Amino acid sequence: MRAWIGATLTGLVAAAAVLVAPAAQAAPPPDVHRSAEKPSADRPSADRPPAGAPAGAPGTKIVGGRPASEPYPYTSSLQVGGRHGCGASLISDQWLVTAAHCVQGQSRLNVRIGSPNRSSGGTLATSARLIPHPSYRGLPGSYDVALVQLSRPVAGTPVAIADASPAQGSDVRLLGWGQTCPQRGCDQGSEQLKELDTRINPDSMCSGGFDPSNELCVYSTSQATACYGDSGGPLLVRAGGEWRLAGATSRAGANSPTCGGGNSTIYTDVTAHREWIESTAGLR
């Protein structure tokens, strides 16, 4: 587990990914789908909060966020040894979407689904397969998306993937258990799920290997942003009176080790990967 956390941190700093570094622990369960690159700071490391590139708000975790105002039954915590590392979203009774850097270097993860508390409640499950996008080559870089297949179907409420990518200026909502302060390692992340309302930035606001064809540039500041521990977690858009999944937290938008640095955070555009997601998970 220590290796996982260390890798996650390394990936975070090197790629400016925004996640919180979890405390060291025993080695993670043997056997991970992809081991070429060890998980980075946003990767689930038991205790590292996930975030669209780090999240965390003073006192409320996602930096500048507030306690979750709704159930969000599809929101999930990826864990190793009981410690949170990344977020994920349930999209069917046996599949979740997260960031590829959250599963790299891992062979098995535990998942807590549908609870606002990352340490209790909800449904517990174990991964059967961890599948990063075949074009993912590590951070910084695009295609930072992965699927987690559970070892058994769960009785949960999946979130639907949005029909289209949110346009520049669109209102979006971020969810996560990440840090509540912007500097790496400044706290251990939030026990309770946090939310933050923000908007889609112009593509020109994101650097750090940003790829507008399959990533989203999200407005953020050091006072309001996703942070370490928020990686892999959802970016939601409102459609037809309900929330839809549009993105997954990836990394900081300017290769900054400080959450919100550069006034942007990069999210993987889940809608751009719909075909791969649905064909791989057999959802169509």
- DSSP states of 11-66: HHHHHT---PPPPP-SPPPS-EEE-SS---TTS-BTBBPP-SS-B--TTTSSBT-E
Q: Which residue in 40, 45, 89, 101 is the catalytic one? A: 101
Residue located via tokens 């309900």: 242
Question: Which of the residues 77, 89, 231, 256 is marked catalytic?
Answer: 231
Q: Is 203 tagged catalytic?
A: no
Q: Which of 42, 144, 187, 230 is catalytic?
A: 144
- How much is the CA Rg of the chain, to the nearest whole Å? 16
Residues 193, 209: Cα–Cα separation, whole Å: 29
- Residue 42 annotated among the catalytic residues of the structure: no
The residue ranges of DSSP E strands in 116-190, in sequence order, are 123-132, 146-150, 171-176
User: Which residues, listed in sequence order, are joined to residue 197 by a DSSP beta bridge?
Assistant: 173
The b-or-e profile of 90-100 (16+ CB within 10 A means b, else e) is bbbebbbbbbb
β-bridge mates for residue 113, sequence order: 76, 123
Please enumerate in sequence order all residues whose Cβ is within 8 A of that of 169, keeping only pairs 6 or more positions apart, or say none. 199, 200
Q: Is 101 a catalytic residue?
A: yes
Name, in order, each residue with C-beta under 8 angstroms of 38's C-beta and a sequence gap of 6 or more. Answer: 3, 4, 6, 7, 8, 10, 11, 104, 105
Give the count of alpha carbons within 13 A of 78, CB side only: 45
Residues known to be catalytic:
101, 144, 231
